[in-house]
Structure 1
Amino acid sequence: MRCTDIAEDFPVVDLDSDALEAARLLARNRLPGLVVTDANGAPTAILPASQVVRFLVPGYVQDDPSLAGVLSESMADHVADKLSGKTVRSLLPEDRPELAVVSFDDTIVEVAAVMARLRCPLAAVLRDGRLVGVITASRLLELALR
């Protein structure tokens, strides 16, 4: 089985997309992440949902998770405030990991190897440098467990 057989249409955002709208897209569709494109529409990064969550949690709580217990649940009410006015670019880490991309004619084993090596929940499928779809880890598992 090749990537062209299993790649799916998937929401894409660009680096300058609104961060709050990207987070809503992730939440509304329960996506593991989003492919981020540059101004030319070429994939440049994967924005995992976990990275958006990380952006929302204060650094001091990330450093010492025991402090999370002292934060009130009303902190969740301010999630939109933290993302408001930000772009997707600001959610991406400065030291971005290698982009999880595969070729349209790669096998599912090759896709699995890329995802495993990069610890990424999805891979962008390219043909002639253009995005033709996305393969998620859950789709890959579905096929592998048949």
Structure 2
Amino acid sequence: MRARDLVTDFPTVALDTPVHEAARLLAAQRLPGLIVVDERGLPSTILPGTQVLRLAVPSYCQEDPALARVVDEEHADRFLRSLDGRTVREALPRKPRELPVTDPDATMLEIAALMARTHSPLVAVVDHGRLLGAVTLQVLLDQAVGT
């Protein structure tokens, strides 16, 4: 089975999309991550949902999880509000990583290896300069285990 057989339409966000809007999209559509596109509509990066969370969780809570316990419940429940006013561009890692993008002819094993190597729950599929969609970890696993 090839990427062309596994690809599905997938929503994208632009570099200047507000992070809060991107988080809403992740939640509303239960997405594992987002494809961030450049001005040409081609993948600039893949932003896993965990990366969006990393931006919203205060660094002191990430460094010492016990400190998260001291934040009262009311404020803890609203931690995503800290993303207001920030854009996806600001959320991206400073160091560029390997972009999880493949062509429609990639095999399931090639896609799985790319996901594993890049720690990405989705791989964008591009053909002749056009984004076709994505192969998600869930679709890949469903096919791999034969469900």
Is the structural similarity TM-score above 0.5? yes
Alignment match, 1:24: 24
In structure 2, how many angstroms separate the alpha carbons of the residues matched to 1:65 and 1:96?
27
Q: Quote the residue 2:11 is aligned against.
A: 11
Give per-residue Cα distances to partners, 1:58-93, cap 9 Å, x unaligned: 11111111111111222222522x121111111111
**2:48 alignment counterpart:** 48
* Conserved? CA contact 2:57–2:79, under 8 Å: no
Counterpart CA distance in 2 for 1:48 and 1:92 is 10
Aligned pair 1:125/2:125, yes or no?
yes
Quote the Cα distance in structure 2 between the aligned partners of 1:97 and 1:58. 23
Residues 128-139 of structure 1 aligned to structure 2 (within 5 Å): 128-139=128-139
Unaligned runs of 5+ in 2: none
Segment of structure 1 superposing worse, 116-125 or 69-78:
69-78
3-state DSSP class of the match of 2:141? helix
What's the TM-score, normalizing by structure 1? 0.95
CA-CA distance at 1:117 after TM superposition: 0.9
Match of 1:79 in 2: 80
* Per-residue Cα deviation, 1:39-76 (whole angstroms, up to 9, x for no partner): 11110101111011111111111111111111122222
Question: Cα distance, 1:96 vs. partner?
Answer: 3.3
Look up the equivalent residue of 1:79 and give its one-letter code: L
TM-score (structure 2 length as normaliser): 0.94
Question: Any conservation in 1 of the 2:46–2:99 contact (CA below 8 Å)?
Answer: yes
Alpha-carbon contact 2:56-2:79 (below 8 Å) kept? no
Q: Which amino acid aligns with 2:2?
A: R
